[in-house]
């Protein structure tokens, strides 16, 4: 098979072959990744300028190691194929050699998955991620999904991360995921299940499959107790951090360095921010609340697309009050909690 082209900050263009995908990921798929929200204008069109501004802030100011493009947070389900491809191009252009990318090619249509996968590979993504598909009426999905990921991996050279949440009324057990880890260019999994399951998968695939989940609440414990190397991922890296307050980065670095007590102290200092971010979120408006929070901390949030709902004036006031009292440092003059 061919080579996937990459750039790194110090050595210029580098490549990994399909057979080298696992080794490359073990070395480079590390640090804090963020699942990116997509700003839309009031008329529903993508706000490309706003997105570019956010990317530059996330990479240059917040020092986020990697960006997860076109996921559920990013409302991929409301976007056309061409819009999704355009997002890939924008992220590739803006990140360059300064940040890694994992581009979501998840879709119910397999041709769309492959088209997006090839486009991500062509524009220079580091990896792609593909959600397990909806499988209705099945009492056993393991062999179906093995064939699904085998087929996708056979068509692409790029390293692939699996993605499983029990959205479709089935749960992939660790033993099944371990089988998929034998596929040549399957390198990681975003495994949004209970901790017992993802702990087991971590142990039985160590050195072969990079396991992570979106829980920031347990990120510290997963570094210390499970030896995790990547946070993959949700929006806390840019909603709970600013240019002047980067406690998630700080506690991550402390934990990776083995300074557990110091890491816990910094992590726990973020509890008021966590509580405000989660506690002001209407149950039916997760993206809208996070986008408004973005606006309040100086990023471009924008609107959501149908079928999602935007916040009411009253809901916005609740979010603002929560942010104002949580101790997140927004500028150089105020002090983080």
On the question of pLDDT at 10 being above 50, the answer is: no
Contact 216, 234 (CB under 8 A): yes
Q: pLDDT tens digits, residue range 301-323?
A: 999 999 999 999 999 999 999 99
Residue 288: is its pLDDT beyond 90?
yes
Q: What is the 3-state secondary structure (H, E, C) of the chain?
A: CCEEEEEECCCEEEEEEHHHHHHHHHHHCCEEEEECCCCECCCCCECHHHHHHHHHHHHHHCCCCEEEECCCCCCHHHCCHHHHHHHHHHHHHHHCCCCEEEEECCCCCHHHHHHHHHHHHHHCCCEEEEECCCCCCCCCCHHHHHHHHHHHHHHCCCEEEEEECHHHCCCCCHHHHHHHCCCCCEEEEEECCCHHHHHHHHHHCCCCCEEECCCCCCHHHHHHHHCCCEEEEECHHHHCCECCECHHHHHHHHHHCCCHHHHHHHHHHCHHHHHHHHHCCCCCCHHHHHHHHHHHCCCCCCECCCCCCCCCHHHHHHHHHHHHCCCCCCCCCCCCC
Tokens of 203: 């142990």
* Residue of 121 and 11 predicted with greater confidence: 121
Tens of pLDDT, residues 203-247: 999 999 999 999 999 999 999 999 999 999 999 999 999 999 999
Query: What architecture (CATH level 2) is domain 3-234?
Result: Alpha-Beta Barrel (3.20)
**What number is the average pLDDT over the span 157-167?**
94
Whether 70 and 85 have beta carbons less than 8 Å apart is answered as no
* pLDDT for the residue 334: 56
Interval 23-42 mean pLDDT: 97
Residues 6+ apart with CB under 8 A from 232: 33, 68, 102, 161, 188, 190, 210, 212, 213, 214
Tell me the CA end-to-end span of the chain in Å, nearest whole number.
52
Rounded to the nearest integer, the mean pLDDT of the chain is 94
Instruction: Yes or no: say if 328 and 242 are a contact pair by the CB < 8 Å rule.
Output: yes
Domain positions in the chain: 3-234, 242-337
β-pairing, 3-8 with 12-17?
antiparallel
């Amino acid at each position: 098979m061919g080579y996937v082209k990459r750039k790194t900050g110090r050595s210029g263009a580098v490549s990994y072959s399909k057979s080298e995908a696992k080794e490359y990921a073990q070395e480079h798929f590390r640090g804090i990744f963020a699942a990116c929200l997509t700003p839309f204008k009031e008329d529903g069109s993508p706000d490309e300028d706003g997105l570019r501004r956010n990317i530059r802030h996330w990479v240059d100011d917040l020092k986020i190691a990697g960006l997860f493009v076109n996921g559920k947070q990013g409302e991929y389900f409301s976007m056309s194929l061409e819009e999704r491809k355009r997002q890939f191009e924008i992220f590739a252009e803006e990140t360059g050699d300064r940040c890694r990318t994992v581009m979501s090619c998840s879709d119910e249509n397999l041709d769309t998955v492959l088209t997006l996968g090839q486009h991500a590979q062509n524009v220079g993504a580091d990896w792609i991620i593909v959600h397990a598909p909806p499988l209705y009426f099945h009492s056993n999905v393991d062999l179906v999904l093995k064939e699904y990921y085998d087929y996708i991996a056979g068509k692409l050279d790029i390293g692939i991360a699996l993605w499983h949440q029990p959205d479709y009324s089935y749960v992939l057990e660790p033993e099944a995921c371990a089988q998929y880890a034998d596929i040549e260019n399957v390198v990681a999994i975003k495994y949004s299940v209970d901790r017992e399951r993802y702990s087991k998968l971590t142990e039985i695939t160590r050195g072969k499959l990079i396991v992570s989940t979106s829980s920031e609440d347990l990120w510290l414990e997963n570094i210390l107790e499970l030896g995790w190397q990547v946070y993959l991922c949700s929006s806390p890296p840019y909603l709970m951090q600013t240019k002047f307050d980067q406690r998630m980065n700080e506690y991550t670095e402390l934990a990776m360095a083995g300074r557990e007590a110091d890491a816990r102290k910094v992590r726990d200092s973020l509890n008021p921010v966590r509580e405000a971010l989660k506690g002001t979120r209407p149950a039916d408006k997760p993206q809208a609340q996070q986008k408004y929070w973005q606006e309040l901390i100086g990023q471009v949030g924008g609107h959501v697309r149908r079928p999602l709902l935007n916040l009411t004036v009253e809901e916005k006031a609740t979010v603002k009050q929560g942010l104002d009292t949580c101790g997140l440092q927004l500028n150089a003059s105020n002090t983080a909690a």
